[in-house]
Structure 1
């Protein structure tokens, strides 16, 4: 194994799930009581203001004793300042033989320790369904759980953006089925509720004029319990206010729209196309509907308690479903012009 490994990502759960696997691989069956030293950059048990780095360095420069190698783990390394990180970077440039440093960074890959590591394990997962399915397969394989490609795709579809659940799911399945070949029907009972999906799944369905799909996506977003009705309305407000800024502007290309909105050219181009298709009157109508929905969710309307089937708040569910259906039909009417 390489002398230094950095596990990096923006989701703490995924970083530490991957860290667990990397440390197991680094130990390779060695007794952790003898071979492992584990530190946290901001250790709550340490005296106030005392840095953990001297103890980490002592572990790194101490030769392995009674075992073939020593594994030193440093968690939450993103909390280290430049001065604290400097001696660790120096060690990574000239590592002690038979010693492996495993660093966990919850944050960006621009961190100095990430750049200096001999090996980087990036736990970020793309938003495309194929990338999520590949992540499911890779994670399952790391636990020797056998799942066919079609089933992995179905698991990825249910999990959605909530990919942090996949590691725990794989561990559960491994403890129950071992390495036996599995199909989706074996996995389904342990999946739980459908996870969240990207915001553009909702805006794309609305912009395409597909009311049924827009309602389905909105329900899934609410059902994941990661977004409230007000958050969905705020998401759509940003989308349509961008469209409103472009409607009647001098922007005619996605690059010009991106400059005006201070955003990436691809979503700016989609907003520009929608502004051109809807026109001023429909854009104004959409903004008015959004304002009505915002007011309704802030106490303006009440439709009772919770939906018996989905356990969602009935007011949130009704207001959001009506809103996305109206916006989708507005887009559909513009397409028929």
Structure 2
């Protein structure tokens, strides 16, 4: 019927420490050929800046550079929250006005999720405050379970341990050695941090990860977020 408005939502079921896949290319092309309006709300970190700018322009909002930077940093990986925030800003301030940090800050809510490598980068830099802030964003903004974050850290340090003394000359060789397919970025990060830490500290990190795993499974009365924060602070000191 002409009066019918059909909305199709594509999503995958939640998987531990994984992101949902996007709309298949063939399905996307078929829908567009039929004249269906396709709106992408699940964008990766590389695409998020341009997507945010386009959404703001479509809604009729203008932010100054500082406000735009704050909004992008605050959303993190949770860019799907943008539309709700933008509509609140539009209702409060109206279209056409250039908004700054003071105007948008009250409407942002809690900080959004960030990718796992933000956490491992902060740990590698020995920046304990940044590491803890990132962990909290993953727990609260990303609603990640403590065991999922621990699994991500364990995978990272497992790569580092496996590469210790391995006959590899670069990240591509290392990825092949580890059996990693697709992006070699995680392998590159593991190689860099392994060289920086040295075998002794990588071994100590394994001990800390094992202790945290036991604590998260009932080995301590502390809550899971406290266990994670203690682990991350200790890893950042290595």
Which TM-score tier does this pair reach, normalised by the shorter chain?
0.7 to 0.9
Counterpart check, 1:107 vs 2:22: yes
* SS of aligned partner of 1:117: helix
User: 2: distance between equivalents of 1:78 and 1:123?
Assistant: 11
Deviation at 1:164? 0.6
Counterpart of 1:322 (choices 211, 230, 233) is 230
Change (3 A) 1:298 1:279: same
Kindly indicate whether the alpha-carbon contact (under 8 Å) linking 1:136 and 1:155 is maintained by their aligned counterparts in 2. no
More displaced, 149-158 or 222-231? 222-231
User: 2: distance between equivalents of 1:247 and 1:190?
Assistant: 47
Counterpart of 1:235 (choices 135, 152, 170) is 152
Counterpart check, 1:178 vs 2:91: no
Q: In the TM superposition, what are the counterparts of 1:69-108 in structure 2 within 5 Å?
A: 75-76=8-9, 107-108=22-23
Deviation at 1:145? 2.0
User: 2: distance between equivalents of 1:200 and 1:78?
Assistant: 24
Residue in structure 2 matched with residue 94 of structure 1 by the alignment: none
User: 2: distance between equivalents of 1:260 and 1:115?
Assistant: 40
Counterpart check, 1:285 vs 2:200: no
Residue in structure 2 matched with residue 38 of structure 1 by the alignment: 5
Deviation at 1:111? 2.6
Deviation at 1:231? 1.7
Counterpart of 1:145 (choices 47, 61, 64) is 61
* SS of aligned partner of 1:125: coil
Q: In the TM superposition, what are the counterparts of 1:220-259 in structure 2 within 5 Å?
A: 220-224=137-141, 226-259=143-176
Gaps of 5+ in 1: 1-33, 41-74, 80-105, 304-314, 331-337
Deviation at 1:35? 4.6
Change (3 A) 1:302 1:171: same
Change (3 A) 1:116 1:172: closer
Q: Which is bigger in relative contact order (C-alpha 8 A, separation at least 6)?
A: 2
Kindly indicate whether the alpha-carbon contact (under 8 Å) linking 1:159 and 1:194 is maintained by their aligned counterparts in 2. yes
Residue in structure 1 matched with residue 177 of structure 2 by the alignment: 260
User: 2: distance between equivalents of 1:38 and 1:116?
Assistant: 15
Deviation at 1:78? 8.8
Relative to total residues, which structure has the larger helix share, 1 or 2?
2
Residue in structure 1 matched with residue 79 of structure 2 by the alignment: 163
* TM-score, normalisation: structure 2: 0.82
RMSD of aligned residue pairs (Cα, Å):
2.6
Change (3 A) 1:173 1:212: closer
Counterpart check, 1:301 vs 2:217: no
Deviation at 1:165? 0.5
User: 2: distance between equivalents of 1:39 and 1:134?
Assistant: 28
Relative to total residues, which structure has the larger strand share, 1 or 2?
1
Counterpart check, 1:125 vs 2:43: yes
Kindly indicate whether the alpha-carbon contact (under 8 Å) linking 1:240 and 1:287 is maintained by their aligned counterparts in 2. yes
User: 1: distance between equivalents of 2:213 and 2:155?
Assistant: 13
Count of residue pairs the alignment pairs up = 224
